[in-house]
Structure formats: C-alpha cells, structure tokens
Amino acid sequence: MLLSRKNKLLLFKLLSLFSVVRGYNILVITLAQYLASIYILSPDVPLRQVVLDLNLFLIVTASALVIASGYIINNFYDAEKDLINKPTKSMLDRLVSQRFKLTTYFILNFLAVFAASYISFRAVLFFSAYIFGIWFYSHKLKRIPFLGNLVSATLAIAPFFVVFVYYQNFKTVIFVHALFLFLLILAREMIKDLENMAGDMAQNYKTIPIIYGPKVSKFLIGLLIVLTLVPALLLIKTFDVGYMYLYFMACIALLLLFLVLLWKSQGKRDYVWLHNILKFIIVAGVFSILLIDVDLVLNRIL
C-alpha cells in the first residue's frame, strides 16, 4: 500500500527528529548502562533483580531523555555550522522546525526531571545540573579550545557516572574502565574539530586546529591515544576482565593503526576515517562487556 503525501511527510519528519536526537546513539548508551550495571557494577546481583530494578530503569530513562534533549539544543545552536560541515544530514534535520525542536527540548527535560523525582531529590539535582551543563556547553563552552572538548567528554560519560554512584561500586577497575572510555571520547571530540574546520571557521569557533593549526591538534590527539594505551594495558595485565582482554588487545592494535593514519592524514576524508575508527572501538566496547563473564552470559541465556 502506497503512503499518501501527508503520511510520507510525517514519516520524513519522524526520521528527521530521530536524526536530530541521534536515536541510534541513545540506544547504544542505554544498552551500555544496562550491560555495565549487570556485568561490571553489580556482577553478584541476580539478573532479574537488575533488569527489573525500577530505580535503574528511571535512571536510564532520565539519561536517555536528557541526552536526546542535549542533541536537540546542540543541533539548534549548530544549525548554520552544520549546513557547511554536514549538508546532507542538515537538510534532513531541517524538516523539523526550530520551534518544534525547542518545544521538544523543554518537554524532554521536564520528563527527565519528573522521572528523576521518583528516585530521590539528589537524582533531581544531578539531572537538573546535567541539563544545565549540556545547555551551557552548547551555548558557550564549545567555542573555547580544549575546555569545550574536555567538558563534552565529561558530559558524555555522565550517564555511566550516575549508574556507578547508584551501585556504590568504588573498585579500582571501574575507574580504569572509565579513564579508558574518557580518553577515547576526548580524542574523538578533538578529531571532530579537525573534521569540522570549514564550518567552525565560518561561524568563528575558536577550536584548537583553527587557532594552533592541524599539526598541533594531531599531536594532542596522538598524545591522548598513547595515554589511552595505559589503561588498556592495565586492564589486560592487572585486572580480571575475563575474555574482555581480547577486546583490549584488539583496541591496542587499532589504536596503533590509528596513530599511523593520524600521522599521514591530510584532509576531511582522512579525519572521517579516524573518527569512525574511534567510534567503532567505543561501540564495540559496549558489546564486549559480555565477554567479562561468558559463563554468566551462557547460563542466563540457557
């Protein structure tokens, strides 16, 4: 059955909104929060108890809502820049009006705080601060070299921080995992600055590659990747991460390849490849959490 013109337009608008909030990223983050809760933060708690934990569900839901609203406000402020850097995606995103985006932004934030209110007053404070932090980053901080990258990476790992605090698991291995993820995300944020130089220059953004040049930016990214190798090696040699050590060994190989490609990179096409390598490592890391205890996975499946 063929869709009417009105239904096609509605479908395109839904796809546009999904693109704006980057629904695929939110799904991955939600999965990561649950897998981290089950296999890293509360490995001794029965699966049913973790999955059916209402507070955890509300934390994950509030996180997803705030992240979605964060993508909307970021898209709102970067609309002109994205026309240059991401013309195809930008045209899809523009099927939804700026007014509708802002309305959705406020609704999502209200729902996030409402969900948090069922957990505790501290949860309300955390998510309110998270919402403000994302807005302040999008409005002001992202234009400040390195500080903007640092804040962006910090905001990206905040959903895992709140789950970590909820389970009160303060083992050293958790901090090493977090450091590995943080350094990867920070390097990815800085690669995005190299990708987006054209739009950033047009909109007067003061990023590291614009102020100090691509060579300095590549040096700093390379330094971050070298630092990322340290927690990866620690997780292989010092801590018991089950078969996940295979993931970290593969990461080390990919990161060494990344350094070679970074040194040879010349333009946007090369930077997109580098960005995708880091994105692949991060997403693969979510699913590799299952390798921490393969027997536990098999027993829960069977």
CB neighbourhood size of 44 (10 A): 4
Residues 6+ apart with CB under 8 A from 187: 221, 224, 225, 228, 278
- What whole-number distance in Å separates Cα of residue 92 and Cα of residue 59? 31
Q: Can you give the pLDDT at residue 51? A: 86
Q: Can you give the pLDDT at residue 9? A: 66
pLDDT digits (tens, 9 = 90+) for 45-60: 887 888 889 999 999 9
User: Which residue ranges in the chain fall short of pLDDT 50?
Assistant: 1, 301-302
* DSSP assigned state of 1: -
- Nearest Cα neighbor of 193 from 158, 253, 150 is 150
pLDDT digits (tens, 9 = 90+) for 186-211: 999 999 999 888 877 877 788 899 99
Q: Can you give the pLDDT at residue 44? A: 77
* 3-state SS assignment for residue 189: helix
Q: Can you give the pLDDT at residue 271? A: 93
Contact 209, 193 (CB under 8 A): yes
Q: Which CATH class is domain 171-302?
A: mainly alpha
Cα–Cα distances in Å, from 263 out to 215, 217, 232, 281? 9, 11, 22, 19
| Residue 22 Ramachandran class (φ > 0 left, ψ -120 to 50 alpha, else beta) | left
Burial classification of residue 168, based on how many CB atoms lie within 10 Å of its CB (0-12 exposed, 13-18 middle, 19 or more buried): exposed
Domain ranges of the chain: 17-170, 171-302
- What whole-number distance in Å separates Cα of residue 279 and Cα of residue 281? 5
Q: What's domain 17-170's superfamily in CATH?
A: UbiA prenyltransferase (1.10.357.140)
CA-based R_g, the chain, Å: 20
Cα–Cα distances in Å, from 244 out to 230, 280, 284? 16, 16, 11
Q: Can you give the pLDDT at residue 126? A: 95
Contact 38, 50 (CB under 8 A): yes
- What whole-number distance in Å separates Cα of residue 240 and Cα of residue 102? 46
Alpha-helical segments (H) within the chain: 5-20, 23-36, 47-51, 54-77, 79-85, 87-93, 98-117, 121-139, 147-167, 172-195, 197-202, 208-211, 214-237, 245-264, 268-288, 294-301
Q: Can you give the pLDDT at residue 80? A: 74
* 3-state SS assignment for residue 171: coil
Q: Count, in order, helices (H) and strands (E) of the chain.
A: 16, 0
